[in-house]
């Protein structure tokens, strides 16, 4: 049995930073990683996908070059092997950096292998037994593979295996019209594949407001992506040209034949092989580890951070879990999970930046609301860039004068949304932002204008 002050399971987005804080505080730490340093974000999530999105954007702009007065001889040719190599390099560099920093961290012992609880204080990794009074679980999640008819009879891609493709699929069928699926759908369309998105719900990204879903659908369809929503029963069958996806939609033909199928239908936590029962760590019905406001689990001395606790599904939420745990343990703070204002982006182009409540969520409450909406066609910067798709919207509580939520679907929306996020975090009336003097010409400069044009909606 080897003794440590703390054990961290998983080198994803919370574990390495936590190892740094704990060892700086003088603790000995064992960090266990079974696969790739940096976890999902670095290896199969944010980093490779946003690198691919950047390549796809270049292809898209090259096709539009004439719109900007630039003449290219012929359309762009996409070298998928080089596109892939670029994404691989970005990920590999980040992965190597994280591993090197952990291995060079005084007081940190890096252990490779699958960690499993033997008891509330003991972790087994292969033949090794480790014990510590504090154990931090940062095991992340993986793609769900739904139990749809015929699934075992075909080969399919997930967000991980699609990254190994170095040739363009002839026709990619994306099952799942939400955040992960739409990013892949648009990038592959821009690389030159035929793309069909199949979604069970009546609309894309069904958690967003209807106007956002509609606008995103329009953006996809304008680029030639075929969108099939309301697919009541999806099944997959072998076909001599690849895979036949039976969709049973309200409209359109009942089948789609693709050369490749990507399953993008959600994620599940990596908690089924951790031995959580032996430690008395409770999970919910979907396997997410139940945590309190400080990320503590049902077992004393065990915390769960990142995607595995089901309280966030993003790199920034996993990192914020680390910040909460570290501040409470080491700085005597009393930070709470519920203080976090939800914010995220969908990285199609143009991107969707989101913060706080949707309009639908706000309307479901009793509060009096003010709502502002502005199309990107009325944003100078968007006009100048020739990227006028989308709109921005903000929802305000008219009594408290606080912004409840906002969406910016448009060029620069993933950056511009931070002005709204900052004012929400500052917890001051929206008038403070309305009186600000932003830089011209930017997308952000229209946020004060939007706030000056709010309409009562209840």
Ligand X SMILES: Cc1cc2nc3c(=O)[nH]c(=O)nc-3n(C[C@H](O)[C@H](O)[C@H](O)COP(=O)(O)OP(=O)(O)OC[C@H]3O[C@@H](n4cnc5c(N)ncnc54)[C@H](O)[C@@H]3O)c2cc1C
- State the catalytic residues: 440
Within 252-340, strands assigned E span: 255-258, 260-263, 267-269, 302-304
Give the 3-state secondary structure of residue 354.
strand
Stretch that binds ligand X, among 132-140, 169-177, 223-231, 250-258 (CB under 6 A): 132-140
**Scanning the structure block, which residue is given the tokens 């929503």?**
229
**Contact pick of 16, 20, 39, 413 for ligand X (by CB under 6 A):** 39
Which lies closer to ligand X via its Cβ, residue 239 or residue 268?
268
Contact at 8 Å (CB) between 267 and 143? yes
What span, in angstroms and rounded, lies between the C-alpha atoms of 42 and 122?
Answer: 29
Interactions with ligand X, residue window 336-355 (CB under 6 A): 347
By CB under 6 A, residue 320 contacts ligand X = no
**Contact pick of 4, 6, 8, 12 for ligand X (by CB under 6 A):** 12
Q: Site size for ligand X, by CB under 6 A?
A: 36
Stretch that binds ligand X, among 197-205, 252-260, 277-285, 307-315 (CB under 6 A): 307-315
**Scanning the structure block, which residue is given the tokens 């060892």?**
23
By CB under 6 A, residue 159 contacts ligand X = yes
By CB under 6 A, residue 46 contacts ligand X = yes
Give the 3-state secondary structure of residue 28.
coil
Interactions with ligand X, residue window 173-202 (CB under 6 A): 180
134 Cβ neighbours under 8 A, 6+ residues apart: 5, 6, 7, 301, 302, 303, 329
SS (H, E, C) 362-423: HHHCCCCEEEEEEEHHHCHHHHHHCCCCCEEEEEEECCCCCEEEEEEECCCHHHHHHHHHHH
Give the 3-state secondary structure of residue 129.
strand
By CB under 6 A, residue 335 contacts ligand X = no
In angstroms, give the least distance from the CB of 53 to ligand X.
9
By CB under 6 A, residue 269 contacts ligand X = no
372 Cβ neighbours under 8 A, 6+ residues apart: 393, 394, 396, 450, 451, 453, 454, 455
In angstroms, give the least distance from the CB of 428 to ligand X.
26
By CB under 6 A, residue 32 contacts ligand X = yes
Which lies closer to ligand X via its Cβ, residue 96 or residue 233?
96
Interactions with ligand X, residue window 136-155 (CB under 6 A): 138-141
- Which residues are at the interface with ligand X (CB under 6 A)? 9-14, 32-36, 39-41, 45-46, 49-50, 114-115, 138-141, 159, 180, 270, 274, 306-307, 313-316, 318, 347
């Amino acid at each position: 049995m080897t003794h440590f002050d703390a054990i961290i399971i998983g080198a994803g987005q919370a574990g390495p930073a936590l190892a740094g804080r704990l060892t700086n505080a003088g603790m000995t730490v064992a960090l266990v990683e079974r696969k790739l340093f940096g976890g999902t974000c670095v290896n199969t999530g944010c980093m490779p996908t946003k690198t691919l999105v950047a390549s796809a954007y270049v292809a898209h702009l090259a096709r539009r070059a004439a719109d900007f007065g630039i003449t290219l001889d012929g359309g762009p040719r996409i070298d998928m092997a080089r596109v892939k190599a670029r994404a691989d390099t970005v990920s590999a560099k980040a992965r190597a950096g994280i591993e090197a920093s952990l291995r060079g961290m005084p007081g940190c012992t890096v252990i490779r292998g699958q960690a499993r609880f033997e008891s509330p204080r003991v972790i087994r990794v292969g033949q090794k037994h480790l014990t510590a009074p504090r154990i931090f679980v940062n095991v992340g999640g993986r793609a769900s593979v739904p139990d749809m008819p015929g699934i075992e009879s075909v080969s399919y891609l997930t967000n991980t295996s699609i990254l190994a493709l170095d040739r363009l699929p002839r026709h990619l069928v994306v099952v799942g019209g939400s955040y992960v699926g739409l990013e892949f759908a648009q990038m592959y369309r821009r690389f030159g594949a035929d793309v069909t998105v199949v979604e069970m719900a009546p609309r894309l990204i069904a958690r967003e407001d209807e106007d956002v879903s509609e606008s995103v659908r329009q953006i996809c369809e304008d680029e030639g992506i075929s969108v099939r929503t309301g697919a009541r029963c999806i099944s997959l069958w072998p076909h001599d040209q690849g895979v036949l996806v039976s969709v049973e939609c309200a409209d359109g033909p009942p089948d789609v034949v693709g050369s490749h199928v990507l399953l993008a239908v959600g994620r599940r936590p990596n908690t089924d092989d951790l031995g959580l029962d032996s430690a008395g760590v409770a999970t919910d019905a979907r396997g997410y580890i139940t945590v309190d406001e400080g990320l503590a689990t049902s077992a004393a001395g065990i915390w769960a951070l990142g995607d595995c606790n089901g309280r966030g599904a993003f790199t920034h939420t996993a990192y914020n879990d680390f910040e909460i745990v570290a501040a409470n343990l080491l700085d005597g703070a009393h930070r709470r999970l519920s203080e976090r204002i939800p914010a995220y982006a969908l990285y199609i182009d143009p991107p969707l930046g989101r913060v706080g409540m949707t309009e639908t969520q706000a309307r479901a409450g009793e509060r009096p609301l003010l709502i502002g909406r502005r199309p990107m066609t009325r944003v100078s910067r968007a006009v100048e860039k020739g990227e006028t798709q989308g709109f921005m919207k903000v929802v305000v509580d008219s009594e408290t004068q606080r912004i409840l939520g906002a969406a910016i679907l448009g060029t620069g929306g993933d950056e511009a949304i931070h002005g709204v996020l900052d004012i929400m975090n500052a917890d001051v009336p929206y008038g403070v932002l309305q009186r600000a003097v932003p830089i011209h010409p930017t997308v952000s400069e229209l946020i004060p204008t939007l706030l000056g044009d709010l309409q009562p909606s209840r």
